[in-house]
Amino acid sequence: MAIATHDATDGHNLIIGDIEDLNDCVIFRDTSGTALIFNTPSGDAYKFGIGDTAYFTIGTTGIGYPSGSGGAVTQATSKSTGVTLNTPTGVITMDDAALGAGAEVNFTVTNSSVAATDTIVLSIQSGGTPGEYLCGVTTVAAGSFQVALANLSASSAEDAVVINYAVIKGVNS
């Protein structure tokens, strides 16, 4: 069973119920007919997205991007070499070049999904010993962000540090 309403003034439709092979969903159709899915059960998760594409999920395993949203990239020649990965979440494997004791290196991640108002979250997945490295974002711009990696140890380190990132969309108004 589905409940549907149509606003003749702007052509929008709101459909709630079992439709289009989706169970217990809320779908809003814009005037072009594009389905904006607000709430579709998928196992133990709710998907949020446009059409058949989910951009965000909330479920028993957590909150975040669904499978297929991420990507992976490896630095080509050095720890300061920029990388390109146009996904809202992903994994960056850094080059294993030496980074001196107490030294810091910066590199640019070119990413078309990033706006200047976004927040980039980073974490070190692996590489080195726990507490040896610290990473952070130093700059966010339209289409890119800058990552800094610092060697906190008292000796030079040569590790292929693996960094996870996620883009949190933001606005300034």
pLDDT at 68: 80
Please give the model's pTM, rounded to 2 decimal places.
0.74
- 8 A C-beta contact, residue 160 and residue 96: yes
User: Which DSSP string corresponds to 63-118?
Assistant: EEPPTTSEEEEE-SSSTT--EE--SSEEEEEPP---B-TT-EEEEEEE-TT--TT-
Going residue by residue through the chain (173 aa), what tens digit of pLDDT does each one get?
444 444 555 544 444 444 444 444 555 555 555 555 554 455 555 566 555 555 666 666 667 777 788 999 999 999 999 999 999 999 999 999 999 999 999 999 999 999 999 999 999 999 988 899 999 999 999 999 999 999 999 999 999 999 999 999 888 88
Q: Could you say which architecture CATH assigns to the domain 70-168?
A: Sandwich (2.60)
Domain boundaries, the chain: 2-64, 70-168
pLDDT at 81: 97
Query: Look-up: residue for tokens 């149509």?
Result: 6
CA distances to 98, 99, 119 from 104, rounded to whole Å, are 11, 7, 22
Measure CA of the first residue to CA of the last residue in the chain; give whole Å: 40
pLDDT at 171: 86
154 burial level (CB within 10 Å; 0-12, 13-18, 19+):
exposed
pLDDT at 69: 82
